[in-house]
Homo-oligomer: A and B are copies of this chain.
Amino acid sequence: MNIGAAARRSGLPPKTIRYYEEIGLLTASRAANGYRDYSEADVQRLGFVQRARRLGFSVEECRQLLSLYSDRDRASADVKAIALEKLAEIDRRIEELAGLRRMLGQLVESCHGDDRPDCPIIDGLAGDGRAGGGLAGGGRAAGAADPAASAGARSGTSVPAVR
């Protein structure tokens, strides 16, 4: 099976499949003409990665999950641990966004939104000190309770677009 067919069957664009091969996430055998050649099992793995990505797992996490996938002696606890951590990450991200939403919502609510220049949103951003929320300076954003020993990451948890 050529890459195009594998792409249609797995839901991943050919470019992405090549990228995954380049970074060593997946492999593909080659036909005599140099074309990549995918087996049914390959397509299975491609679909596996596609679904894992759509659930919010990073490519590196997909690597771990793939290795567990093909490990017949895995402990489901190992899989669950990864999933639980991702779940916690998603929760943190939701909390963070909820905090943003709260602050921005307050500003928006207090703004008349007419043709006059007076604007509490601008004032809040300008840091006049009257900002209620966490807009001050050194503070932590919002919602997130703990310093969050977040895994080296800036806030992201990005997921591929569905098309």
Contacts and interface: CB of A to CB of B under 8 A. Distances in A.
Contact of A79 (B54, B119, B160): B119
Copy total for this chain: 2
Interface stretch (A15-23, A30-38, A99-107): A99-107
A115 B140 CA distance: 40
Contact residue range for chain A? 35 or more
A112 B52 CA distance: 19
Contact of A100 (B114, B115, B159): B159
A122 B155 contact: no
A104 B141 contact: no
A54 B121 CA distance: 14
Interface string A57-79: 00000000100110111111101
Residue among A65, A69, A121 having the largest count of chain B Cβ atoms under 10 Å: A121
A24 interface: no
